[in-house]
Structure 1
Amino acid sequence: MSSHPLTCAAVWGRRQAIAVAALSLCVGASWAAYPDKPIKILVPWAAGGATDQIARMLAQPLSQAMGVPVVVDNKGGAGGVIGTQSFVKEKADGYSILLATSSTNAAAPHLYNKLGFDPVHDFTPVLSLCAIPNVMVVPTKSPWHSLKDIVTAAKQSPGAYTYGSAGIGGSQHLAGAQFKTAAGIDIRHVPYKGSGPAAQDLIAGHIDMMIDTGSLGSIRGGLLKPLAVASAKRLPALPQVPTFTEAGTPMIASAWYGLMLPANAPAEVVERLNAEVNKLLKTPDIRNRLTEMGAEVLGGSSADFAKFTLSEIKRYEAIVKDSGAPKE
């Protein structure tokens, strides 16, 4: 018999320690290998809008940086809520990333009685990407040539004109509601499953106007006519277009975009994604492409983005209330 016998408890304790050590090594090796399979960027809107454009802009260079395919998965509906509800059920392993927006992760909590996700506890913020002011656009063949033309026509025929949006609670919806209040007019809201389908109907003349964030391509292509930008100063991309304030109806409305993972994502994964995307945001190609969309490039730490989203949830409570948008 050994001169230092082990009790049953001591043997169990030693076995536990060995098991924990082995598990820690396995977990460490697992995250060290991240990523080792394709990554999905979930866009909770239909293809074609600003959110989709940003996701596709990032997908290829992020794939090169991470060494695995990065695909974009569009899952639109209910102002981005349906896709976001689906996202929070995904594994928090870094292989499913949400292209979050101010609409889904700041405004929606104040617009839906049964949201289906918690805007704070169901997400792990990765980083802020950019912010884009909304632009009032009308079809090229529209008889309106200024914001005052719209206000005059709407006051002469209350309820006769329509504005489109990516869905209830989207930045276009709230901007339109703000415009109605600021101008004292009655225009009807027509929600879509994304800003892409809404813009297509606008170009076709099925709706009358839209206050959108992703319309610069259609403006440059001669399909849409910009009348005002909802920012404090004119956009470098549209230097000849006045602000809403300059056009006689003071208001500011913009949308922000960022990346999030499901709740409790591993810190190592968050740090890797944050570092790689921050690098991409500093490249001339990505910066120029975002600037051409009228965006302000952001970036920063995950902690910065977490703090920002908390403040935005609070800020949008007042915006939604002031807009008069009904809670669904």
Structure 2
Amino acid sequence: MRTILTRLLGAGLLWTAALGASAQEYPAQQITLIVPFAAGSGTDAVARIVGMKLADRLKQPVVIDNKPGASAQIGAQAAAKAKPDGYTLFMTTNTSHSANPSLFQKLPYDPVKDFTPVARVGELPFALVVPTSLPVKSMRELIAHAKANPNKLSYATPNSTSLVASETIKRIAGLDIVGVPYKSSPQAMTDLIAGSVQVYVTDFGSGLQMMKSDKVRTLAVTTAKSSPLLPGVPSMAEALPGFDLTSWNGIFGPAGMPAPIVDRLNRELQVVLADAEVQEKLAGLGFQVWPSKTPGEFARYVEDQLTHWSTLIRQAGIKPE
């Protein structure tokens, strides 16, 4: 019995040593960072800023792999099925990991069981925009116009935040407007400018440049307070008291990633997100850096957000597809 225990202990020590060695050697090759949204989206912009600095830290290329479509399900499924060796990571948002479980009756992945949380990155605010051709200049005017023209306005929904925010506005204000799904944020913005859709709740990352131009009219930001990036634009709560909606962003790996590699990535991301140049670039997108201190903290946050978004979606009256 003593011999068996000695062998088991020895095997355990060897396994621990092997994991430690793999973490020290990691990374030995290129890392792929899957983004479940199109190039030009807010998450894509954040991924490219963070990925470039992470590559500097790890001394290996970090390549962005955009896999848009199906409300982030395509990218999420690809990431979940990847080998859990730290060479395929996944930067995503509340769309895939908080909202989709309540928006769809069946998903090709489990947001908790199929992933290893690595680090929360931060939050990306949204704002409601309309084409300049629409005769409204405030949320109150938009609400009055929509009520005077039932079922004649449409809104774009390229992600869950846009969908839930728009449906919540519909419910609170009692509006009859039609949702139009989009595969990507840039296409939704293009169609809004052309007048094909009349309302779009867009993220700052992909929409801020247009919001600062004269091509769209920005009526309100979806956060509880106004944004210094959009002087003079009120918060949605001024027209709809209590309204407060934003989008979180984080990095995962497939389930089963070795803890030493997860911890290494988390430590490096802490340094990346504390970098002044990175923070300045992200702030230019309206992105608020808010890293989790540990992978465990991020895991708990993900589970809390599942409950939070389930409540938001139920309150908005959205039925799962």
State the TM-score, normalized to the length of structure 1: 0.90
Q: How far apart, in 2, do the equivalents of 1:22 and 1:243 lie?
A: 57
Within the alignment, does 1:212 sit opposite 2:205 as a pair? no
Secondary structure in structure 1 of the residue aligned to 2:214: coil
Task: Specify the alignment match of 2:260 in structure 1.
Answer: 268
Q: Report how far residue 143 of structure 1 moved.
A: 2.7
Secondary structure in structure 1 of the residue aligned to 2:306: helix
Which letter maps to 1:239?
A: P
Q: How far apart, in 1, do the equivalents of 2:273 and 2:169 lie?
A: 32
Please say which of residues 36-45 and 18-27 is displaced more in the overlay. Answer: 18-27
Q: How far apart, in 2, do the equivalents of 1:88 and 1:248 lie?
A: 38
Equivalence map 1:163-178=2 (5 Å): 163-167=155-159, 170-178=160-168
CA RMSD of aligned residues (A): 2.1
- Find the partner of 2:107 among 83, 106, 115: 115
Within the alignment, does 1:306 sit opposite 2:309 as a pair? no
Secondary structure in structure 2 of the residue aligned to 1:245: helix
Q: How far apart, in 2, do the equivalents of 1:282 and 1:198 lie?
A: 33
Q: Report how far residue 269 of structure 1 moved.
A: 1.1
C-alpha distance after superposition, 1:6-26 (max 9, x if no partner): xxx999998887777666554
Within the alignment, does 1:325 sit opposite 2:318 as a pair? yes
Q: How far apart, in 2, do the equivalents of 1:135 and 1:16 lie?
A: 58
Q: How far apart, in 2, do the equivalents of 1:185 and 1:16 lie?
A: 66
Q: How far apart, in 1, do the equivalents of 2:270 and 2:5 lie?
A: 44
Q: Report how far residue 251 of structure 1 moved.
A: 1.5
Q: How far apart, in 1, do the equivalents of 2:248 and 2:2 lie?
A: 56
C-alpha distance after superposition, 1:193-243 (max 9, x if no partner): 122221222223221121111311222243322110111111121131101
Which letter maps to 1:199?
A: M
* Mapped contact 2:131–2:195 kept (Cα < 8 A): yes
Task: Specify the alignment match of 2:175 in structure 1.
Answer: 185
- Find the partner of 1:297 among 289, 294, 297: 289
Q: How far apart, in 2, do the equivalents of 1:248 and 1:179 lie?
A: 8
Within the alignment, does 1:237 sit opposite 2:216 as a pair? no
Q: How far apart, in 2, do the equivalents of 1:46 and 1:30 lie?
A: 33
Equivalence map 1:24-39=2 (5 Å): 25-39=17-31
* Mapped contact 2:224–2:242 kept (Cα < 8 A): no
C-alpha distance after superposition, 1:9-60 (max 9, x if no partner): 9999988877776665544333211001111111111111111111111121
Structure 1: unaligned runs, 5 residues or longer: 1-8
C-alpha distance after superposition, 1:62-109 (max 9, x if no partner): 111110110111111111112111210011111111112111101111
Within the alignment, does 1:89 sit opposite 2:81 as a pair? yes
Q: Report how far residue 257 of structure 1 moved.
A: 0.4
Which letter maps to 1:293?
A: L
Secondary structure in structure 2 of the residue aligned to 1:88: helix
| Cα separation, partners in 2 of 1:268 and 1:18, compared to 1, 3 Å | closer
Which letter maps to 1:188?
A: V
Task: Specify the alignment match of 2:137 in structure 1.
Answer: 145
Secondary structure in structure 2 of the residue aligned to 1:196: helix
Structure 2: unaligned runs, 5 residues or longer: none
- Find the partner of 2:39 among 47, 50, 53: 47
* Mapped contact 1:166–1:196 kept (Cα < 8 A): no
Q: How far apart, in 2, do the equivalents of 1:184 and 1:60 lie?
A: 45
Q: How far apart, in 1, do the equivalents of 2:312 and 2:117 lie?
A: 23
Q: How many residues align?
A: 318
What stretches of structure 1 move > 4 A for 4+ residues in a row?
A: 9-27
* Mapped contact 2:212–2:230 kept (Cα < 8 A): no
Within the alignment, does 1:315 sit opposite 2:302 as a pair? no
Which letter maps to 2:109?
A: F
Task: Specify the alignment match of 1:6 in structure 2.
Answer: none
- In terms of Rg, which structure is larger? 1
Q: How far apart, in 2, do the equivalents of 1:257 and 1:163 lie?
A: 24
* % same residue: 34
Task: Specify the alignment match of 2:67 in structure 1.
Answer: 75
Which letter maps to 2:154?
A: T
Within the alignment, does 1:126 sit opposite 2:112 as a pair? no
Which letter maps to 2:128?
A: M
| Cα separation, partners in 2 of 1:17 and 1:242, compared to 1, 3 Å | closer
| Cα separation, partners in 2 of 1:263 and 1:154, compared to 1, 3 Å | same
